[in-house]
Amino acid sequence: MLLLSIETSCDETAISIVEAVGDFPSATYTVLGNALWSQMDDHRAYGGVVPMLAKREHIATIVPVFEKALREAGLSGTKVPDSPADEAAVKELLLREEGLADTLLTFHREHGKLPIDAIAVTSGPGLEPALWVGVNFAKALAQLWNVPVVAVNHMEGHVLASIFDGQRLAALSFPTIALLVSGGHTELLLMKDWGHYELLGRTRDDAVGEAFDKVARLLGLPYPGGPQISRRAKAARAANLPRFAELPRPMLTSPDLDFSFSGLKTAVRYTIADRALTDDEVSALARDFEDAAIEVLVAKLAKAVETHAAESVIVGGGVAANQRLRESVAALATPLHFPDLAVYLPEITLSTDNSVMIALAGHAHLEEKMSPEVARDMRAFGNKSSHDRLPE
């Protein structure tokens, strides 16, 4: 089976072509083509992602990214006669993506029908204007090629990316706890089987990645803030700089598995007030903040593991690239804590948004290994977006 996967939930336009041989979750996957265009530089001046700017960039880049993935895969199409009905349908589907219908139809006339068996596309959560570009592009291709479209939950993609070794998914031992951490999400999930997710806890305010970005801005560090905080924190540890501030660990000992990071961010703001920090003080405070945030994440994860007698843990999402978090989670699988625990962390290139993970989740749905309720409704992830499914 050849899968085309599309990811446009935020500020990356990503398309992959993945061959799947076998049934989920035991299939062997080959990434034939994988292309991505990042808009990071376009949003840097604003200190964050601007939804309508992201939409315009997705419209402008999605066909070139698609072409790049096709070149990598070495795929060619079969010319088909023009269909006025299909062209009219494509123009209707892409009515709000100005100019995209003409670009896609030109591509289709040149390349024809490609040997794709199904299309997987992120349908949520994410920025609504950005999501619709990918969703409508997928539906337009499906109209032209007469293939099925599978709506994929972005966060489920992160779960599967974290257990993907480049060819196969890990043979999970259940129950499994998944910690999903990104700029928009911080949540703990219980997995009792493939495709079965139960929300255990989530942030009550800021996501941890959002807190990293906001604290970086307070410290005068450029966007995106997460890597900048981590770089400064690493430098502070290497130089053994003294603690700059005693920061709180919000909800560290609360009886539930929820999180809160807004108060931690506010504590940083009050700590620096109107002070002009030296370079070393910026690094020290970045370390103090990172230590506080990671301590809470790992403590809640450990509590979930103990409560549910988990045999494995998964960490996914953009913040899973944070080295301090990776080291702290890996340390759980030691004789001092949980000696038999299996820990799964994503390859760094698969921790941030990508389309390979969308292909993996799309294949899971195509193989219908999930219950109908789970396949149709991914609300266990605590989505902030209403786009859990493709629109009718």
User: pLDDT tens, 129-141?
Assistant: 999 999 999 999 9
Instruction: Band the pLDDT of 63: cuts 50, 70, 90.
Output: very high
Instruction: Band the pLDDT of 336: cuts 50, 70, 90.
Output: confident
pLDDT, tens only, 235-259? 999 999 999 999 999 999 999 999 9
Beta-bridge partners for 314: 178, 344
Average pLDDT, the chain: 92
Question: 296 pLDDT exceeds 90?
Answer: yes
Instruction: Band the pLDDT of 293: cuts 50, 70, 90.
Output: very high
pLDDT of residue 370: 36
**Rounded mean pLDDT of 80-85?**
90
Distance CA 302, CA 278 (A): 36
Joined together, the tokens standing for residue 364 give 């899971």
Q: Which of 154, 160, 163 is nearest to 182 (CA)?
A: 154
Distance CA 186, CA 196 (A): 18
Write a three-state SS string for 333-375: CCCCCCCCCEEECCCHHHHCCCCHHHHHHHHHHHCCCCCHHHH
pLDDT of residue 387: 30
**Rounded mean pLDDT of 261-273?**
95
**Rounded mean pLDDT of 350-357?**
96
Question: 158 pLDDT exceeds 70?
Answer: yes
pLDDT of residue 371: 37
Neighbours of 98 (CB within 10 A): 11
Joined together, the tokens standing for residue 324 give 């301090």
Cβ(176)–Cβ(314) below 8 Å: yes
Cβ(197)–Cβ(381) below 8 Å: yes
Cβ(267)–Cβ(308) below 8 Å: no
Instruction: Band the pLDDT of 361: cuts 50, 70, 90.
Output: very high
Question: 32 pLDDT exceeds 70?
Answer: yes
Least confident of 39-53, 99-113, 157-171: 39-53
pLDDT of residue 46: 87
Q: Which of 204, 212, 224, 220 is nearest to 49 (CA)?
A: 224
pLDDT of residue 177: 98
pLDDT of residue 386: 29
Cβ(293)–Cβ(251) below 8 Å: no
389: Cβ contacts below 8 Å, ≥ 6 apart: 123, 124, 151, 376, 377
Distance CA 184, CA 268 (A): 20
Question: 390 pLDDT exceeds 50?
Answer: no
Distance CA 325, CA 298 (A): 8
pLDDT of residue 383: 37
> Tokens 């993506």 appear where?
97
pLDDT of residue 375: 37
- Quote the DSSP letter at residue 99: T
**Rounded mean pLDDT of 162-170?**
97
pLDDT of residue 329: 97
pLDDT of residue 384: 36
pTM of the model: 0.91
Question: 372 pLDDT exceeds 80?
Answer: no
Question: 48 pLDDT exceeds 90?
Answer: no
Question: 388 pLDDT exceeds 60?
Answer: no
Q: Which of 337, 372, 390, 386 is nearest to 148 (CA)?
A: 390
Distance CA 26, CA 4 (A): 19
Instruction: Band the pLDDT of 368: cuts 50, 70, 90.
Output: low
Distance CA 59, CA 61 (A): 6
Distance CA 301, CA 298 (A): 5
Distance CA 254, CA 258 (A): 8
Instruction: Please give the residue that has the higher pLDDT: either 194 or 372.
Output: 194
Joined together, the tokens standing for residue 6 give 């599309």
